Chain A
């Protein structure tokens, strides 16, 4: 059965899932934004993000930190996290504006990486292109272009990725604001994980939220 997941719900829920799976709030915010951004182009951002975060749960963050002094960047645990690495690249977007091309080693879900880096495009009013296997994903301030082999878009791990500023002028696709259609079982799974960020009810929480006086007058 399908479910219409609004973009706001996508962002909020995946942020919580990221938190539940061990990312700090700041990185969890990046995860939510990336999932939303992909969903706006009808790409499987929520599904990929869920799958990746489930793999991440319980792992040591340090294993995923890119060694940024190495070329290409790589993680001590063997596989770069697209959220952690994507955020690190977005933080270095000024270097990309200066012409630097970043090369990465083995990376999980490169589409998530492209979306995370791409969030910086709007602020710089530029285009950042992430490329892996036979595909290139270009994130505009408010649009997206995909070139090459579409099948490679959905790879869940690749051995090499590059990321750089681009000079494309017009995106192929503009984002939708409509709800993203997703398998309801995936949403159940997302909600279940998001729920782990909520505190179980206590007598204090029930008593504390409402009126001290009557609330029905």
Chain B
């Protein structure tokens, strides 16, 4: 649970995009583009509907005429190439008219209980026009160029769970198909990908007429959806400790199950090797200009070579072969390589690990409860056994509390400030978890061991938030990032990568220490291909 490791996570079988597609395939969901009212320039609206066994959802897309100078991925942007909402059911014309008045405005608009998400996307300047021109001329896009970018459009925010008027999370909490973490948002992004292909082909046809062609299906598979994620997402993992715990528990349990296997069947070994080859290819396509990621990729490439040698030398038929492999990796590989191996080890064992995806949701209300009857001694014991990572830091050293998290009045989004160089520390959010735990622990010292936490909190309410967190750790060992989140050398991109890996993202490309670009659904089937796709 250290940031450097979390910042090296890769997508796995348990990632939310993969969970979603497995369910849709298993349940044989049907897809239909129910509306396509887009003009020759590519502006208008479209509706994509997915039909499940019990319910129906629709992506409502609006494509806009966006002047180039207004195109920005920053959350402070006010206009986008396309805007979207996931509608609960099939929208009628009145719904669409209402949504057209609001969805293009994003945060400045208002959606309703009938909508499950709100999002937007910009075209890739690097790729969009190239693909339009090639298709219009009857040619396929350049494969290298397409693979280098990996997407036609890049989402810049996908909001759900009651934000900007959208349906509350509890509205869908009992629906198996979307009750898992971020399933509605992932569905929205998957349909956005289909829309991006339809839109680029539509514009190419309008420009090229009879000579225009569609994208070759094999090439099309390599097109995902990009995403730019900044600091806004970072506090999520800190603000949802029960959820983080369950995500990590599922991942750890999955790894433990595979490592516990006494033997590896030939089919599993073959499957592993196939995924290993695919990982090598993915890494060859994974580029970054950020110095930290450049180094990490260099290590990862070396790690893959080491793994390749290991596989060549070790038959994987000995006792507990995966456990041996993992132990070797711990000694021999960088964190990037170790985490890549975690992802690969789960691949051949869907039957063993996929069910764990059902444990990744959380009843956060239960984690909210404070056990006031707990004696002071017990709370101190939890700190001492679970929070040494917090106690060991000297927060009097400026570098150990150099940062502070706050919400910006300008865009109502979280930001990280430099405590000793910027104004605003009085607005600090309660995200300095380690420091707060140590403060609480120090405050508990004068209290008699048998006194209760209820008594303590009545006198010192400033520790209430932290007591809640620490009590939570007794039952949820993975609930906290075990690192100093206000240290001078803390990298917000590590938190972002952890969360995005759970989404199922690939191609992590940090653009600074607090902003990362990724790719989603690259090489995944499209809606019309899903039923025939590999699991």
Contacts and interface: CB of A to CB of B under 8 A. Distances in A.
A9 B418 CA distance: 29
Given A93-B372, A211-B73, A7 B162 contact: yes
B529 interface: no
Contacts of B112: 4, 179
Contacts of B230: 209-210
Residue among A4, A25, A216, A217 having the largest count of chain B Cβ atoms under 10 Å:
A216
Nearest to A124: B369
Nearest to B436: A25
Contacts of B182: none
A25 B228 contact: no
Contacts of A209: 74-75, 230-231, 408, 413, 415, 514-515
Interface in A195-217: 195, 197-202, 204-206, 208-213, 215-217
A122 B367 CA distance: 11
A68 B465 contact: no
A119 interface: yes
A69 to B, nearest CB: 10
A82 to B, nearest CB: 14
Contact of A216 (B75, B125, B430, B465): B125
Nearest to B373: A94
B73 A24 contact: no
A205 B369 contact: no
A205 B458 contact: no
A7 B170 contact: yes
B73 A90 contact: no
Nearest to B174: A177
A214 B365 CA distance: 41
A18 to B, nearest CB: 12
Contacts of B289: 213
Interface in B354-381: 365-366, 368-373
B511 interface: yes
Nearest to A207: B512
B355 to A, nearest CB: 27
Interface stretch (B201-209, B305-313, B333-341, B421-429): B421-429
Nearest to A123: B369
B63 interface: no
Residue among B366, B415, B453, B467 having the largest count of chain A Cβ atoms under 10 Å:
B415
Residue among B161, B369, B412, B452 having the largest count of chain A Cβ atoms under 10 Å:
B369
A202 B423 contact: yes
B71 interface: yes
Nearest to B454: A91
Interface in B466-524: 466-468, 511-515
B463 interface: yes
A90 B370 contact: yes
A199 B407 contact: yes
Interface in A1-42: 4, 6-9, 23-27, 29-30, 33
A133 interface: no
A7 B373 CA distance: 30
Contacts of A6: 113, 162-163, 165-168
Contacts of A8: 161-163, 168-169
Contact of B464 (A27, A95, A197): A27
A204 B407 CA distance: 13
Given A179-B113, A202-B422, A24 B464 contact: yes
A27 B463 CA distance: 9
B208 to A, nearest CB: 25
Given A4-B165, A216-B71, A217-B126, A199 B465 contact: no
**Chain B contact residues (Cβ within 8 angstroms of A): what range?**
35 or more
**Chain A contact residues (Cβ within 8 angstroms of B): what range?**
35 or more
B122 A216 contact: yes
Contacts of A200: 409-410, 423-424
Nearest to A6: B162
B416 interface: yes
Residue among A7, A9, A66, A215 having the largest count of chain B Cβ atoms under 10 Å:
A215
Interface in A78-114: 84, 87-88, 90-95
A65 interface: yes
Contacts of B145: none
Interface in B284-342: 289-290
B170 A212 contact: no
A59 interface: no
Contacts of A65: 458-459
Contacts of B228: 211, 215
Nearest to B113: A178
Contacts of B457: 26, 87-88, 91
B171 interface: yes
B461 interface: yes
Contact of A26 (B163, B408, B464): B464
A27 B454 contact: no
Given A8-B168, A200-B409, A202-B423, A33 B468 contact: no
B124 interface: yes
A25 B408 CA distance: 18
A122 B365 contact: yes
A92 B455 CA distance: 9
Contacts of A161: none
B458 A88 contact: yes
A87 to B, nearest CB: 7
A215 B72 contact: yes
A120 interface: yes
A23 B430 CA distance: 13
Contact of B410 (A4, A91, A201, A215): A201
Contact of B366 (A26, A123, A199, A217): A123
B74 A68 contact: no
Given A7-B168, A24-B464, A178-B168, 12 more contacts: A6-B113, A6-B163, A8-B162, A25-B465, A119-B369, A123-B366, A179-B112, A198-B407, A206-B76, A209-B231, A215-B72, A215-B73
16 contacts: A6-B163, A8-B162, A8-B168, A24-B461, A25-B464, A26-B465, A92-B373, A120-B369, A177-B170, A201-B408, A209-B75, A209-B231, A209-B413, A211-B515, A212-B512, A217-B124
